[in-house]
Amino acid sequence: MRLEVADGVGTLRLDRPPMNALDIRMQDRLRELAEEAGQREDVRAVVLYGGEKVFAAGADIKEMREMDHTAMVLRSRGLQDAFTAVARIPKPVVAAVTGYALGGGCELALCADVRIAGERAKLGQPEILLGLIPGAGGTQRLSRLVGPAKAKDLIFTGRQVRAAEAREIGLVDQVVPDEEVHEQAHAWAARLARGPALALRAAKESVDFGLEADIDTGLAIERNWFAGLFATRDRETGMRSFVEEGPGKAVFD
C-alpha cells in the first residue's frame, strides 16, 4: 500500500495482489497513510484505489482463521481504528471501486465521502456467511448511508450487489464504464483540490459530526465553523472574487 501525490491529489493505492486482501499489515499501513494524507499540506483531496481489476475483496480469511477470541479482542480496535482514520481524513475522499469491494473492502469504500463504481463492480458484506458480522464499521456506516432496512438485507444475507443496484440503494453515487473509474474519481478529487481547503474541511466535519449528534449540537458545530471561516484568507479570496469578477472564479491557494 502506498500514497502517491500529484497536483494536490493523494491516491491511497491498495497493492496486495491478487485481491488486495486486508491483512493486519495492510490495516496498520492504511492507518499510517490515512493519517499522513490528512496532515500533508500538498494533499488536498484523496482517492482510494485498488487497481483496474479489484478494489479489495475483504479481510485475509486465512489470517483470521488462526485467531481466537482473545486475539480478536486485542485486534478489533486496531481494525476499526484503521478504517476510522480514513473516514476522519479532513479532506474530500472518493473511493474508485473496480471489481470486488466485499467485506472489509466494502467497509473501506464506506469511509469515503463519495463512491464511484465501475459497471462490473460488486459490493457486499458477506461476513454472515462466515458466521460473523462486519467488524470494521459496516454495521454502522452502511446503515447510516443506505438506511437500516437495506443495510440489514445486505448484512443478514451476505449477498453481493452489482453496481446498478448499489447505485439504486445509495451505496455508490456514480456508475461509469470500468475503464473510466480512476479517471472520473481523480477528476472529482482534482476539482476539489483546487477549492478552499479550510471551508471543505469545515463542510465535511459539520456534516459528519453533525450526523452523530442531535440537531441542536449539529447546528452549533455548523455555526462555529461558519463564523470561524470569516477569519480565513480563503473567505477573503472568495468574497473579493465574487464582488469583482462574479461567482465561481476565485483561485484559492
Q: How would DSSP label each residue in 72-104?
A: HHHHHHHHHHHHHHHHT-SS-EEEEE-SEEETH
Q: Report which of 194, 251, 85, 27 is spatially closest to residue 186, judged by C-alpha positions.
A: 194
Q: Is 107 known to be catalytic?
A: yes
Which stretches does DSSP call E strand in 15-167?
45-49, 93-97, 100-102, 114-118, 122-124, 160-162
Nearest-angstrom CA–CA distance, 154 and 151: 5
Q: Write down the catalytic residue from 105, 107, 136, 202.
A: 107
Is the link from the previous residue into 18 a cis peptide, with omega within 30 of 0? Answer: yes
Q: Write down the catalytic residue from 10, 21, 127, 135.
A: 127
Q: Write down the catalytic residue from 45, 59, 112, 136.
A: 59
Q: Write down the catalytic residue from 104, 124, 137, 195.
A: 104
Nearest-angstrom CA–CA distance, 235 and 89: 22
CA distances from 48 to 94, 100, 139, 144, 223 (A): 6, 14, 21, 20, 31
Nearest-angstrom CA–CA distance, 44 and 10: 7
Other C-beta atoms within 10 Å of 64: how many?
17
Q: Is 104 known to be catalytic?
A: yes
User: 172: exposed, middle or buried (C-beta count within 10 Å: 0-12, 13-18, 19+)?
Assistant: buried
Phi, psi of 84 (to 5 degrees): -65, -35
Just list the catalytic residues. Answer: 59, 104, 107, 127
